[in-house]
Structure 1
Amino acid sequence: MPIDETLAGYSNLAFKSAFVIYVLALGLLIAQYASVQTRKAEARELVTVGGGAGPGVPGKVAPPPRRARAEQFGNMAFAVLIVGIVLHVASIVLRGFATHRFPLGNMYEFVTMACAAALVVGLGFLYEQKFRAIWVFLIAPVLVLMFLAGQVLYAEAAPVVPALKSFWLPIHVTVVSVGSGIFLLSGVASLLFLYRLRQPEGQESDSPLGKIARRLPDARALDRLAYKTTIIGFPLFGAGVILGAIWAEAAWGRFWGWDPKETCSFIAWVLYAAYLHARATSGWRDTKAAWINVAGFVAMLFNLFIINIVISGLHSYAGLN
C-alpha cells in the first residue's frame, strides 16, 4: 500500500510539537526547582508570615510565598507535560497509520517509542510531590534523545525492509523499546542516588551542587525508585531478548549467533541481573549496586547507537536508512 504522506506529515508535526512542549515543561520544572525552599528556610518564612493564621481561618497557616509559587510552576509543568506525552504518542500512532505497519522499523521510530515509554512510566512513578524534582533530570535526556532522533536518525516514512516483514516485529521490538525506556528512568534514579549520597540530607553545603541536592528526594527514596523500575524493566528486556532469539531461528535458522547486537544485548541483560543480585546482597546494595545499574544503562546506549550505526552485523538494517 502507498505511504499516506498526509498522515506522515501530521506525525512529524506531532513529534516536533511534543519536543517544543517538553522544552516548555522543562523550563517550568526548572523554575519550580529553583523556587523550592529547604525546610529551614520554610520555617523562617512561616515565622515571617506572622503566626500564620489565614484571615478568618483560625489555626491554618498560610503557605510561604515561594512554596506556593513553586507549586504553581509544578502544576503548570505537569499539565503541559501531559499534553506533550499525548502528542508524542499520537506521533507514533500516526506514523503507523501512515506506513500501514507497526512503527518500529528504524532507529528513529525505536528511539521515539523508548522516550515515550520512559515518560509514560515516569507518570506512574513520579506523581508524588516529593518526586517532582526528578522530572528535570528525566526530561533532559529525553530531549537529547529526541533531538538525535529527529535530526540524526530520522528516516522518511516508508515500508520496512523485507527482513523486518514479520509478525515478530511488533512483539520483539515493542518489548525491547519499552524495557529500554524504563531503564532510562532507572538509570537516572541511580545517578541521582549516587549524587545524593555525596550530599547527605541535613549536611548539604551551600555550594550550587549542595543546593541542587537538597531539592532532591532522600537517597533511600531514589535507590528504591531505581530498584522498582529495574524490577519491571528487567523481565521485559529479558523477554525481548528471548523473543528476538525465536525470531532469529525463524529468519536465520539459529537461535543465537553472537551477532554484535545479540552479544551487547546479552551483556546489558547480565549487568541488570547483576544489579538486582547486588541490590539484595549485603555490602553491595548501596553504591556498588548503583554503579552496576549505571553500567547497564551505558551498555544499552552503546547497543543502541554504536552497535546499530558503527558496527556491521545481521542487525545493520535497523540503523539509519
Structure 2
Amino acid sequence: MTDPQLALASDIAIWASLAVLALALISFSAHLAITGAARQRQSDDTVLQHTPLPVGARRTSRGADPSDTSPDATPTSAALEPPTVDHPAGVTRRWGVLGMQLTWLATFAVLAGTVLRGLSVQRWPLGNMYEFAIVAATFALVVFCAWSLRQDRLWLGPFVVLPVMVVLIAGKIWYTDASQLMPALDNTMWLSIHVTLATLSVALFVIGAALAVTYLLRDSAERTNRVRGWLAALPQADKLETMTYGMHIFAFPLWTFTLITGAIWAEVAWGRYWGWDPKEVWTFVIWVVYAAYLHSRATSSWTKRKATYVALIGMLCVIINYTVVNLLITGLHSYSGVA
C-alpha cells in the first residue's frame, strides 16, 4: 500500500530543496569571487612591497613605505607565494555563511523528502533510480554540512551543491511513482544494508570528485603562476590533494563492503554469489578503478596529479553504472523504474 499524500509531500520537499540549493549556489559563488579578489589583491600587494625600486623612485602602493629601498626589500620565494590565511582580514564572509545556512535548510528539506518517500511506501526508500538519487543527495549534503561544522569549508560549497543539484534534477527526470518493490529487492535487511552502503559510498565519491576538480584547477594555476580570481579563494593545491586522498580513503572501504554485501544478497535472491550480471561487473570495475587510484597515489613513480585523474575516471564509472547500465542494459538489476 502507498500513501499518495505523503508521496506528494515528499515531492514538494525535494522541489523546495532544489530551489534553496540554487540560492545557496549563488551565495557560495559570490563568496568565492569576493574572497578570491581579496586574496589576489593581498598577494599582489605583498609581491609589490618586496620588489626593489630604481634609485630615487617612490612606491605608491597601499600600505608601502615610500622611502623603503633597503636590501631587505628584495623579493623572496615566500613573498611570491599566495597567502595561506583561511580568510582575508576585513573581508566579509556573509555570502558564504548565507550559502551554508541555505545548504543546511536544503539538507533538512531533502532529508524530509526522503523520509516522507519511505513512509509513503512503508519501506526503505531505495527501490529505484529516483529514490537512489534523493538518498545519495541527502548523504552528500549531510556529510558536507557535518564536515563544515569542524572546519571552514565555505570555499567547497559550489563544488558540492552543483553536483547534488544535478543528481536531484536527474532523479526528477527519471521520476518513478511511489510503489512497492520488485520481488528480487523485497528483502528489507539486505536492501537497507547493501543499497545504503552503495548510496553513502557514491555520496562520498561525489565529494571526493569535487575536491579532485578543485585540486587540479588550483594546481594548474599554481604551475603557471596564475592564481587569479576565484581560484585564489581555494586552499593551496597540496592541501586540496590531501583532502581528496582522505575522502577516497574513507569511501573505498564502504564500496568494498557494498561489493561484498551485494554478493551475499545475490546468493539469497538468486542462489549464486556472482553471475557476471552487468550491474555486478560495473560495481567491480568501479572497485578496481578506485583501488588503482589508491595504489597509484602511494606509488612514487606516479605523480599526485596523474593519480587524481584516475580518481575522476572512477567517478565517470560511477556515472556510467548509474545511468547507462540502469537504463540501457538489461539484467537482473534492471529496476530503474523508468519506462
TM category, shorter: 0.7 to 0.9
Alignment partner for residue 251 of structure 2, among 209, 233, 237?
A: 233
1:161 pairs with 2:160: no
The residue type equivalent to 1:223 in the other structure is E
- Partners of 2:320 and 2:187 lie apart in 1 by 26
Equivalent residue number for residue 54 of structure 1: none
What pairs up with 1:147-296 in 2 under 5 angstroms? Answer: 147-150=169-172, 152-167=173-188, 168-200=190-222, 203-204=225-226, 210-296=228-314
- Partners of 2:104 and 2:256 lie apart in 1 by 30
**How many residues get paired?**
300
* Structure 1 residue 42: Cα displacement: 3.9
The residue type equivalent to 1:286 in the other structure is K
Equivalent residue number for residue 141 of structure 1: 163
CA contact (8 A) 2:100 2:157 kept: no
* Structure 1 residue 123: Cα displacement: 2.1
* Structure 1 residue 39: Cα displacement: 3.2
The residue type equivalent to 1:19 in the other structure is L
Equivalent residue number for residue 17 of structure 1: 16
Identity %: 34
CA contact (8 A) 2:33 2:229 kept: no
- Partners of 2:285 and 2:12 lie apart in 1 by 37
CA contact (8 A) 2:176 2:337 kept: no
Equivalent residue number for residue 56 of structure 1: none
CA contact (8 A) 1:204 1:214 kept: no
CA contact (8 A) 2:40 2:232 kept: no
- Partners of 1:245 and 1:228 lie apart in 2 by 27
Equivalent residue number for residue 323 of structure 2: 305
Equivalent residue number for residue 98 of structure 2: 76
- Partners of 2:250 and 2:292 lie apart in 1 by 15
User: Deviations along 1:127-153, whole A, 9 cap, x unmatched?
Assistant: 566532221111111111211111x21
Equivalent residue number for residue 2 of structure 2: 3
- Partners of 1:40 and 1:129 lie apart in 2 by 23
User: Deviations along 1:69-117, whole A, 9 cap, x unmatched?
Assistant: xx01111111111011011111101111110011000000001111111
User: Deviations along 1:175-206, whole A, 9 cap, x unmatched?
Assistant: 1011001000111111221222111189216x
RMSD: 2.3
Q: What secondary structure sits across from 1:220 in the alignment?
A: helix
- Partners of 2:126 and 2:99 lie apart in 1 by 29
The residue type equivalent to 2:296 in the other structure is A
* Structure 1 residue 122: Cα displacement: 1.5
Equivalent residue number for residue 28 of structure 1: 27
Alignment partner for residue 87 of structure 1, among 109, 132, 140?
A: 109
Structure number, greater radius of gyration:
2
Q: How does the TM-score come out when normalised to structure 2?
A: 0.83
* Structure 1 residue 124: Cα displacement: 3.4
State which drifts further: 242-251 or 311-320. Answer: 311-320
Q: How does the TM-score come out when normalised to structure 1?
A: 0.87
What 5-or-longer segments of structure 2 have no aligned partner?
Answer: 47-60, 65-87
Q: What secondary structure sits across from 1:231 in the alignment?
A: helix
Higher relative contact order (CA 8 A, sep 6+): 2
* Structure 1 residue 40: Cα displacement: 5.2
Equivalent residue number for residue 114 of structure 1: 136
